[in-house]
Structure formats: structure tokens, C-alpha cells
Amino acid sequence: MENIGALPQKHMEKCMSSMQTGTQMVKLRGGSKGLVRFFYLDEHKSCIRWRPSRKNEKAKISIDSIREVCEGKQSEIFQRYSDGSFDPNCCFSIYYGEHMESLDLVSGTGEEARTWITGLKYLMAGISDEDSLAKRQRTRDQWLKQTFAEADKNGDGCLSISEVLQLLHKLNVNLPRQKVKQMFKEADTDDNQGTLGFEEFCSFYKMMSTRRDLYLLMLTYSNHKDHLDTDDLKRFLETEQKMTNVSKEHCLEIVAKFEPCPENQTSGVLGIDGFTNYMRSPAGDIFNPEHYEVNQDMTQPLSDYFIASSHNTYLMGDQLMSQSRVDMYAWVLQAGCRCVEVDCWDGQDGEPIVHHGYTLTSKILFKDVIETINKYAFAKNQYPVILSIENHCSVPQQKKMAQYLTEVLGDKLDVSSIPADPSGLLPSPEALKGKILIKGKKLPSNIDENAEEGDVSDEDSADEMEDDCKLLNGDTSMNRKQAENVAKKKLDNLMKESKIRDREDPDSFTITALPPSGKHDKSPLKGKAEDSTDTGDEANIGGNKRLARTFMGSFSKRKKKTSKVKKSSSFEDTDTDQESSSGASKAQAHHSRKKKTMKLSRALSDLVYMKSVGMPDFESQGVTWQVSSMSETKAHQLIQQKPVPFMRFNQRQLSRVYPSPYRVDSSNFNPQPFWNAGCHLVALNYQSEGRVLQLNRAKFYCNGNCGYIQKPGCLCEGSFNPVAEDPLPGRLKKQLILKVISGQQLPKPKDSMLGDRGEIIDPFVEVEIIGLPVDCCKEQTRVVDDNGFNPMWEETLVFTLHMPENALIRFLVWDHDPIGQDFIGQRTIAFNSMIPGYRHVYLEGMEEASIFVHVAVNDITSKARAVSGIKGLFHRNPKQASLDSHAAALLNRKSTFGAHLLRRTASAPTKGQPKVKRGFPEISIDTKDCSSDGASEERESEEGPLVHHNGDTASAKSWGQGTNGQLHPDDRKVQN
């Protein structure tokens, strides 16, 4: 992609034109003949389409979703065909989507392939160079064009009233037919009466999507004028959005940038369309724009940071049969990951290979992996990359590994030893910029320095696979087909019985951490510590029920009656109840085995920067350049049994936590409990998209997605118990007051059986806090019937946080269904990345869908545990009461014009629920309401929470490390 920008514009235009004209190519599929299809770039240059296809209009790949375009026969699909099958010059692969799927194509000529490769890289480069405002505008324009094109069923370039009505149903709009006809008539202004052209459709869409909530907000600050002048806008930005030193010039810049009406531009005022454009731009996003760049201190020792880490980085899917691909290293490194895993084994012809040992995963060359890491390690940022080497090779092949590491990585490879200064501190991410560090086995210092090899312990090898999960164990009496059958059976059983791999679900989102071997220790916190594995997902469900949902639970229940399986026959289905009653005896047997050792080459040992060791020893002082690696099960055990010593250990020495070997489906554990304890390298399966990776992304996005996040101060020094009922006594807590106002263009659920033809959705919003066990909780709004286009909730949810700097806030949108509820979308944000005021929360991976909220944060203190909510108008749940101080403040006021309009247009409450009088939040929350309202049913003392504020909705101290809540307009690049 490096040279794309240097190509002449004429050449690029020719590429685009050729791609839009289209090309006939062969689309390869695994294990069968290729399909001849006609591929073309759509008129908006937003996606690749092909025909014929049973998917019809859904047969497309958006340019935004393309991760990489590879020339030649590099993909795994191409490897299945014999060498002479295709001319390599005619072959290329497009990797796209969350799961790095590949579209493998063979063109008729090398020139055609070159045109597509060049053109696609050019489009991808253009997207990556866009600023967030330009990108949002482009995606909106493309969305409107695609929506229009897909609604135009007969392809005549216009929309009839019947096509418009069908489209509205697809968009979840439930307007009276007469109202639609009236707006249709108003938009139909050209000579071609009875249909809407594209421009007319845009006018119609604008009429339909005029925001009542934003209109009322504008009326409030303009003193009921139909526009905001610069004084009004300044007052709004300072009062609500907590910006400081807003100048008149800055307000005029906003008008110039966002106001579409020429008359308003001339007058220097912002009308409803301009105000809507501004509020829907990145300037109105809930995510702090300063956090798109590195904004934290990067000069502290490595032990003061969380580091984005990947597990079995090379794998595309499950741990038993999936493909290993070098592309995965390119992808995760560019996605912000800074610690990748390389499992090394002896290969043929003396060439070390990378794959998951004892399984059917495909093999890739170690040299290719190192070359890919060298190419992509610093493509997106310069902070150090750690290679976690799992070494299973013989000494000769270890020497080959050392040779490749040295030759390929060159100066990037840091082989210096840690300075032996009295502090013994690790270097900082800043000091190690551009460096690659090797984590692996190291020869002990007492071995003769002239010896070319020596023995090292192998039993603490991180990520060692359990015998139960091995398919190939040196026994070649079974063929690959039989081994595949065993693997498929294991995976099928898991998916059938759990069906919860990282799927959004109201009760349990993912497989929980496995219980410790032997008796499960009761935690000092009743219920709360158990929830620490689940971030409160199942706060009302007993721990035993959760622990039953482990991987082994899904394997073992069917196998208890079977006779013992011989150890040698690794192809037999050896599922046993490893983690149940026999767990303790198995663990003892394991420890009583003869101590395992392996031969380690001096050449490889000398390249190791961080020494891999097993379980941490809390008694010894430890060596800072050692990394303790442990499975989630062992780490969870430490958190339950020794939370404070474990946390203190993590203050001076790095620890790595990896998924249980029983997660053969590549599911992920909840990382939050391990972050709470200060674990640095929480390694996740990056190939398994879902809830856990969403949490991981949110965690690391708050520092420019550079892969390093500063740990909260109390995790870096002092004593702190992450699972205590009051972990930080005497410290001010934060009260998050979140008003969920409305939704915009919420789609039908992805998995909806009837797709776009299904019923209009009945949405509600759930907000979840994920942090310390004592902070974990969820609240939800009421359900709005039959409206996904512009539902109004207007409900306030209140949360108390003991350690907000380590918390994630998760917004979930659901479709309420008589049978249950369907997941629509989510956005997860680090607490410190939220900014106060009226904000849009854009659902991740969706083009237009958002929810509109008001955010305020106060400092609170109380002798008892701070209450999570106070009795208010929307008190539905006695355990977690909601509060609506806006409505409370407005109850006794005379109804405003805005409130009248809102009642006329707002969504009705769910059937069966009483209507509650609500008012629009004309001003920010009055914090006095929060502290003086009725008593909470959860209150444990007579003294309520004291709210500390400085007259604003959120005190300046409330907002994270970046801006302290004061957003100076000149600092916000996205607005200028």
C-alpha cells in the first residue's frame, strides 16, 4: 500500500472505471470447483458486488470492512490446489470482516488482477487517511444512496409510494399512512409527479428524520427561536457540553461547517438542520476525541501498564482443526495488539514451524511469521512488541529460530539486559519504542558460559495443552480422518450444549472461568467475588449454576459412565470430568510426576529479554524481567485466595494470563477480574469476535489504541483488595447519572428470522458497568413499542463507581420479544473516555444507528456503601432504583411548548405499563435533586450520599486523565 499514493491520478481513474465496468473471475471455495462470477465496484465506490448470487443484494463486501489485499496464492484456500492449477499473477485474496474471512479470486489475466489489487488498495488508503468527520459524512452519503438503490425495486431510478412504504417498514418506521403520503407529496417537487428521485428522497428522508429531541433542546437554549445565534451556542457548549473559553469565532466556525441553509450562514446562526449535523458529528460523540491519540504518560516502567495481548495468534478459528495463517499476525498488530504468541515446533527439512501442537491445525513456517511481524510490528504505532515464544523445538531448530530472529528483525530486536540498578525497574514503553522483545525460556546463570545448550524446566511452559484436548500424541495408528471426527465431535458437543460463545444474552454472555481444581473456595464476598468472573452478568444467579457452564461441563456430562480410556489412544474421545470430583486427585498426580525438562539452545536463550516462569512466588522479591504465565483457572484461584499479595506481585513483575486449554472452541474468558488485580498481559483469542473482544477494544481505545494503558495508581503502589466490599475506604466515589433520551435508526436484529420483512422492533436500552466486583451492575430502560427509527425513552439511570478509572460502560440495545429478546447492537467505552453533556453513542459496526444520552458525573461520599439509585419517577426495580431528576424538577412547572410537542410525538410506553409524565431535559441535572430525593431501599445507614459539585452537572475533577472535563475548542481537531 506504500506506493499507491504515488501513482498518477489518471492511472487510478482508469482502475476505478475498469472495476466499475466489472470483471469475470473465478471465486474459489474449499474442496470444490471454483465458481465463475461477475465482480464489479458499485457506483458509489463503497463495496464490491458480484452476480449471480443467491444472496441477491447482500452479495457484497464493503470497502470499509476490507482488512488486507494479498497478491498471489498466499491464502489457505489456494494451498489446497496443486501447484500448476493457476497462474500466480492472476491470483489474489481479499481478507475482510470481523473474522478475517477471505475472498479468493482468479482473474483471466495478470493485468486484470493488478487493476483490482491496485484499485482496492487505493480505496483502502483513502479511507484510512480520512478524519472522523469526513468518514462519518461519507458513510452517511453512501448509506442514503444504497438505501435508495435497494428500495428502487423496479430499477427505474425513482421511488413510488409503495416502494417508500416498504422501505419505511425495513427502517423500522411506524408512521400513519396518511402522514407518509403527506410528506411524500411535499417532497415530490419536480415534473415527474408521483415518484421521488434521489434528491427528492433526501428531502423526504430529512423531513421524516427531523429530531424532536434536538429541536426541543435548541428551543431551550434559543429562548424559543428557530435557531441558535452565537451567544446561544456558546451558552449551550459551556453549560451542557462542559467546554471552556468558547469564543464567538469558534461558534461561527461551527455555523460555517455544519449549517446547510445559506440564509442562516449569512446571519451566522445555526438552524435545526445545522444543529443536528453538529450534534451528530464527532463533536457530539460520547467518546473523547483526544483519546484517538496517545494521551497518557508513557514513561513509567512496563509493570505500570496493561498490555494488549493475543493468544495463539496464528489461529483463524478453533484450537483443534482451524487454519494457521501468517496474516493473523499482520491483522492483530495493526489492531493494536502488542504481545503476540508464537508456538514453535520441529518442521521438515530443518525448518521450524508454527501451529498448535498435537492437533490438526495447519502449519506455517516460523520464518514467514517473523517476516510478517517485522513488516507490521510498527505499521500503526511505535510502542514495543513482545513475542511470546512457546518453544517445543529441538536444539538444531532452535538455532535456526535464533538465526531468523537475528537476521530478519535486525536492530529492532532488543537483546540488551535490564540495567542492574538498585531500583530494578523495567524500562518504559517510551524508552522501548521501535523495539521487539522476546519472552521465552532462558538458561540459568550457573550454566557454563561456553556451553551451547543446557536444561531448563519445561513444566511451567505457559499454555501447555491438556492431554484431554490432544488429538495427536505420537500415536499414528489412527488416520487424519478419524482424528477429524473426534475433533468435530468435541466442537459440536461444545456448541450444542453451551451455545453461548461470546453471544449477547441477558443472563450469560460467555463461558465463565473454570473453577479451581478441587474444592471451590468460598470468597470473602458473598456472591460478589463470584460475579467477578462475569462482571455482574449473572448477579442474580448462583455461582454453581455459572460454574456448570464451563467447557468441561459441556464435555463431561455424557462421559461419566464410559469405561476408562487408555492414555495411549489419544484419538479416543477422552472427555472426562477433569474439573469435577476427580480434579483434585488429578492435580496431585500431575504435581507428583517427574519434573519435566527440555534442552535449550544458548543462541536462542541469549535473545530472550523477558524470562518465562510459571506460577508467581509471592514470598520472593522476584526479578522484574521475569514474566509469570498462568491459565485463567490458576489466576482466578489466586484472585479468590490471595487477592492482595497477587495485586502487590503485579506491581513489580509482569504476569500473563491465557485462556484455559479446555477452550478448544477459542472462546474467551472475561478479562476484567484480571485487570482488576493488575495483571498486565491478559491474552485473548483475537479471532473470536464477541463481547470479550469488545471489552478489550474499549479498554485500549482510550489511549490511542497503542496497546498500552496506564494502570490506576492504586494498582501500581500501595495495598488494595480488588474483591473487597469497600476496596478504597475514605476515597470519594463517582456517581454516574446517565439519561437515556432517544434512539436513531436502530436496525432489526441481525439474526431475525424474517429479516427486513419482520415486525418493527420494540427496543430498550441496557447499560452495564464492568469494573470492580462492587461496581458491576446493570440497569435498563422501559420498552418502546413499534419504533426503531426514533424511539424516545427519556429515563435516567444512576450508578456508583468506587474505581471508575478501571471501569467500562457498556450500552446494549435489545429488541423486546414475547419469547425473549434479540440483540441489536452495542457500544462499550472506558469510563475515562466518556465526556459530559448531550452525546450520541454510535453502535459499533453500524452505519447510522445511535442512542442519544446526557452524561453527568458527581463526586459522592458516604459512610455506608454508596447507593446505586434513589427513588424517583421511574422506580421499577426495588434493588436498583432509577431516578429521573429532570422530570422531578419539571413536575411542578408550567408545561413548555417543547414538552407539549414532545408528548405529542414521543413513543408510547409499553402496553401494560402505566404512562409516566416526563419532561424534556431543558437544563442539566440539578445535583441537589440527586442528594435530597427520597431514601433508597438499599441504603445501609441513615446518611445518604453527599454530592460534591461546583455548580455544574459534572465537576471538573470527574473526567479522566485526558481533559478533566474541560474541552477547549481549539484543542478539538475534529471541529476545526
Q: Take residue 343 and report the three cell numbers written for it.
A: 508456538
In sequence order, the β-bridge partners of residue 287 are: 834
Q: Take residue 688 and report the three cell numbers written for it.
A: 473470536
- 22 neighbors 36 (Cβ within 8 angstroms): no
Which has the closest alpha carbon to 370: 324, 400, 405?
405
In sequence order, the β-bridge partners of residue 828 are: 810
- 735 neighbors 866 (Cβ within 8 angstroms): yes
372-702-439 Cα angle (round to 5): 40
699-701-702 Cα angle (round to 5): 80
State yes or no: is 968 an active-site residue. Answer: no
Which has the closest alpha carbon to 278: 260, 294, 296?
260
Q: For every residue of 532-567, which 3-state class applies, written as one string?
A: CCCCCCCCCCCHHHHHCCCHHHHHHCCCCCCCCCCC
Q: For every residue of 267-326, which 3-state class applies, written as one string?
A: HCCECHHHHHHHHCCHHHECECHHHHCCCCCCCCCHHHEEEEEECCCCECCCCCCCCECC
Instruction: Determine how β-strand 353-354 pairs with β-strand 364-365.
Output: antiparallel
DSSP states of 235-246 as a string? HHHHHTS-B-S-
Instruction: Determine how β-strand 23-27 pairs with β-strand 101-106.
Output: antiparallel
Residues 6+ apart with CB under 8 A from 282: 132, 133, 136, 289, 974, 975
Chain-centroid distance, C-alpha 342: 23
Q: How many CA atoms lie within 13 A of 367 on its CB side?
A: 10
- 674 neighbors 638 (Cβ within 8 angstroms): no
Question: Cα(41)–Cα(124) distance, rounded to whole angstroms?
Answer: 13
State yes or no: is 355 an active-site residue. Answer: yes
Question: What are 572-576's contacts with CB under 8 Å, separation 24+?
Answer: 572/486, 573/486, 573/489, 573/490, 574/467, 574/468, 575/468, 575/490, 575/493, 576/468
Q: How far is CA 664 from CA 276, 470, 493, 549, 643, in A?
A: 48, 10, 11, 15, 28
| Active-site residue identified among 250, 291, 311, 840 | 311
Give the number of other CB atoms < 10 A from CB of residue 539. 17
Phi, psi of 600 (to 5 degrees): -120, 130
Exposure letters 244-254 (e unless 16+ CB within 10 A, then b): eebeeebbbeb
Question: Cα(521)–Cα(442) distance, rounded to whole angstroms?
Answer: 35
Helix %, strand %, coil % for the chain, to 5?
A: 35, 20, 45
Q: For every residue of 791-821, which 3-state class applies, written as one string?
A: CEEEEEEEEEECCHHHCEEEEEEEEECCCCE
Which has the closest alpha carbon to 813: 172, 118, 65?
172
- State the alpha helices, DSSP H only, in 826-873: none
- 563 neighbors 584 (Cβ within 8 angstroms): no
| Active-site residue identified among 355, 680, 840, 854 | 355
- 306 neighbors 337 (Cβ within 8 angstroms): no
In sequence order, the β-bridge partners of residue 48 are: 41, 61
Q: How many CA atoms lie within 13 A of 19 on its CB side?
A: 27
Active site residues: 311, 355
